[in-house]
Amino acid sequence: MGLLVNGEWVDQWYDTKKHGGEFVRESAQLRDWIGEAAETGAETDGRSYPAQADRYHLYVSLACPWAHRILIMRKLKGLESLIGASHVSPLMLDKGWTYDQSEGASGDPINHVDYHHQLYTMTDPAYTGRVTVPVLWDKQRSAIINNESADLMRIFNRAFDELTGNDLDFYPEDLRSIIDDVNDDVYDHINNGVYKSGFATEQQVYEKHVQALFDALDRMEKRLSEHRYLAGEWLTEADIRLFTTLIRFDAVYYGHFKCNFKRIEDYPNLAHYVRELYQWPGIAETVNMDHIKRHYYYSHDTINPTRIVPAGPLLGLERPHDRERLPGQGIRRRAS
Ligand SMILES: N[C@@H](CCC(=O)N[C@@H](CS)C(=O)NCC(=O)O)C(=O)O
């Protein structure tokens, strides 16, 4: 694993020493938009490009929780025929993410690159920073349009609606303040909290983040004991953002990242909630447990030097759930 420095690839693990043993996530740098940013609730000073069929291409990892959000949005917003997708190999080693088909990648039919970092240097030959998935690629300009999953969710939620006729709204205006509050808590303490726990290189830093993670899981458990979904009766982007961490939790974060006060299976509401979302039409097809487990256990050799990938656990995600006991209305439609 590494990063680009002035357009040159440097093989280097996260520098936690610089921050007293803390993993500090770098902000995404490429933040252009598609369609009207204001309509999606976004504030951006990036440029905006038009929504067009077959102009954009998504590059993801099937292992990555941030990329997974976008695959779910692409599926539920009916964008698969308009926006193609390629996935990297689950093994992220000295050259970073690769499109090596012999290692489980899809290959790259658009730019024919071997390494994901080449997409960044095609965009900016002097790029300095981490090379992350997901990215949305503009085939017309041969450049990355945006590499921040939170932005891409909002773009997919709105920009292509006139082309697809899909008016499902995962960020309804009247629920935005609740969604924003939940997102802040979930992002800092859960989505990023598992990484801050797992990548910590000092005992007290790990303990601080793992405690904050489980305090936040307790808050979500309580919220979901009263409401079918995080923002109430409607399934929103907040649920998708929590789901991609929960679905990886018992298989990866509990063991590999030492987030082990409890499993998700031990929380009655979270356990049933994750099953409801997994069983939501289209979502199970976006979950690839083989890539998820192989990526983390094989790529992070500082944490797991033997690279043995655990055989279990058996997750039983197809088991029935009890979420119908709470009132739910599904996904909001923009017109309603
Ligand atoms: N802010 C980004 C973060 C994405 C991210 O960190 N992706 C990970 C994979 S799960 C990655 O590509 N990491 C490579 C690295 O940090 O070098 C987003 O949400 O889109």
Instruction: Of 5-19, 38-52, 238-252, 283-297, give the lowest mean pLDDT range.
Output: 38-52
Average pLDDT taken over every residue of the chain: 96
* Per-residue pLDDT tens over the stretch 11-66: 988 888 888 899 888 889 999 999 987 777 777 778 999 999 999 999 999 999 99
What pLDDT score was predicted for residue 44? Answer: 76
Place of tokens 């996530």: 25
- Rounded CA separation 44/31 (Å): 8
Catalytic, 267? Answer no
**Average pLDDT of the segment spanning 173-193:** 98
Position 1 confidence tier, pLDDT thresholds 50, 70, 90: confident
Q: Is a pLDDT exceeding 70 seen at residue 336?
A: no
Is 115 one of the catalytic residues? no
- Which tokens in the block code for residue 70? 């976008």
Encode pLDDT of 58-74 as tens digits.
999 999 999 999 999 99
Lookup result for tokens 């290959």: 107
Domains for the chain: give ranges and CATH numbers.
2-166 (3.40.30.10), 173-281+318-333 (1.20.1050.10)
Q: Looking at residue 13, what is its pLDDT?
A: 82
Q: Summarize the confidence of residues 211-238 as an average pLDDT.
A: 98
What integer pLDDT is reported at residue 39 of this predicted model? Answer: 75
- Report CA(135)–ligand 1 centroid distance (Å): 10
Q: Check: pTM over 0.90? Answer yes or no.
A: yes
Q: Indicate whether 266 pLDDT > 80.
A: yes
Looking at residue 17, what is its pLDDT? 84
Q: Where does ligand 1 bind, in terms of residues with CB under 6 Å?
A: 1, 28, 61, 64, 66, 130-134, 147-149
Nearest CA to ligand 1 atom 9: 64
Beta strands 33-34 and 48-49 are parallel
What is the number of the ligand 1 atom nearest to the C-alpha of 148?
A: 20
CA of 328 to the centre of ligand 1 (A): 32
CA dist 52 and 160 (Å) reads 8
Q: What is the pLDDT of residue 41?
A: 74
CA 230 to chain centre: 17
